Amino acid sequence: MARLALSEGRYLDAGDGLRLHFQECGSGPAVIFLHGSGPGASGQSNFESNMLEFARAGFRAIALDLFGYGQSSKPADRRYELAFQVVALKSLVTQLGLRKVNLVGNSMGGAVALRFAMENAERMNKLILLAPGGLGKKLRYLRMPGIRAMMWTMLGPGGPSWTKLKKVFDRQVYDPSKIPDALISERLAVAKTQPRQVYSTLKVDNLLPRLGEIACPTLCFWGTDDQFCPVETAALLADGIRDCKVMLVGRCGHWVQMEHPELFNGESLRFLADEVQALPAATELVS
């Protein structure tokens, strides 16, 4: 039987001495997964189980570590603004020779996906968002409990610690018991390698005035108990994009893909169904 698992990871030269790390599994139309800005975030830690489901359904699932995260370069002399991360995504798409892509973006990764879609409409098939950022003024986000906890963890005295990171994850999901200690430890190891600049210069543009530029079909998920990206902006997203469906998920925080994987995977794969034919039934996943 054919078996699917995430690759060990590959690196791309992004210029100026910077490298991008990504992992993938499966084959078929490309779906690129973009993580958020949480301490120690990476593509794998945000999306691994979802990627395996997409690969089994006949997609090439690719998880990119954005600059400053995972195993990608983390320069201490750059500003971690949205444009910098869009460069990372465009470099990946170009170097992999992908003519058309589907994007899945969570939080900051959602804002990266939105801006890429605005600026590269000819390379977009469909867009899937999970509580994307960039839909309001910076001050509104800085008032969110999850954002405050994240910034304290990374910029407060002593830097990141297991205890601080646990408090961030307690706000990440509706039911904190769903977060395994091993995930917190994995994210902490990465967080300790992140320079302060990743968070002190973090800037996500307000993309609301440009939502009308999104031409591709869009599907969005949002937990009603989100403590990072305000759920009221979901209506602004639905109103601003001409072909957009937004699903609100009760008893759910910032990570719909982890808290309600059956819902997210099922709805997303139905949304993308015309992109691919199913793989043979003999294909199975590595646990």
- pLDDT average, residue stretch 26-41: 97
In angstroms, what CA-CA distances link 186 with 157, 172, 192, 217? 21, 16, 10, 35
- pLDDT average, residue stretch 59-67: 98
| Top CATH class, 3-275 | alpha beta
Q: What is the pLDDT of residue 22?
A: 98
Residue 283's pLDDT band, with cuts at 50, 70 and 90, is very low
How many whole angstroms separate alpha carbon 42 and alpha carbon 48? 10
- pLDDT average, residue stretch 263-267: 98
Q: Confirm if 99 and 125 have CB atoms less than 8 A apart.
A: no
Q: What is the pLDDT of residue 279?
A: 40
- pLDDT average, residue stretch 135-163: 97
Q: Identify whether 35 is a catalytic site residue.
A: no
What's the mean pLDDT when you consider all of the chain?
A: 94
Q: What is the pLDDT of residue 5?
A: 86
Residue 281 has pLDDT above 50, yes or no: no
Q: Confirm if 256 and 222 have CB atoms less than 8 A apart.
A: yes
What is the signed CA dihedral for 189, 39, 223, 115, rounded to 10 degrees?
Answer: -120
Stated pTM of the model: 0.95
Q: What is the pLDDT of residue 280?
A: 42
Q: Confirm if 26 and 60 have CB atoms less than 8 A apart.
A: yes
- The encoded tokens of residue 116 equal 């890429």
> Of residues 21, 35, 254, 260, which has the active-site annotation?
254
Q: What is the pLDDT of residue 188?
A: 98
Q: What is the pLDDT of residue 62?
A: 98
Residue 276 has pLDDT above 80, yes or no: no
Residue 100 has pLDDT above 50, yes or no: yes
Q: Write out pLDDT tens, residues 152-200.
A: 999 999 999 999 999 999 999 999 998 999 999 999 999 999 999 999 9
Weakest-pLDDT range from 228-232, 258-262, 272-276, 282-286: 282-286
The structural domains of the chain, with segments of one domain joined by +, span 3-275
Q: What is the pLDDT of residue 277?
A: 55
Residues in the chain, overall count: 287
Residue 1 has pLDDT above 60, yes or no: no
- pLDDT average, residue stretch 37-65: 97
Q: What is the pLDDT of residue 189?
A: 98
Residue 4's pLDDT band, with cuts at 50, 70 and 90, is confident
Q: What is the pLDDT of residue 282?
A: 32
Residue 19 has pLDDT above 90, yes or no: yes
> Of all helices (H) and strands (E), which one includes residue 182?
helix 181-191
In angstroms, what CA-CA distances link 228 with 9, 81, 107, 220? 29, 18, 8, 16
**Which residue, 235, 248, 242, 246, is CA-closest to 211?**
242
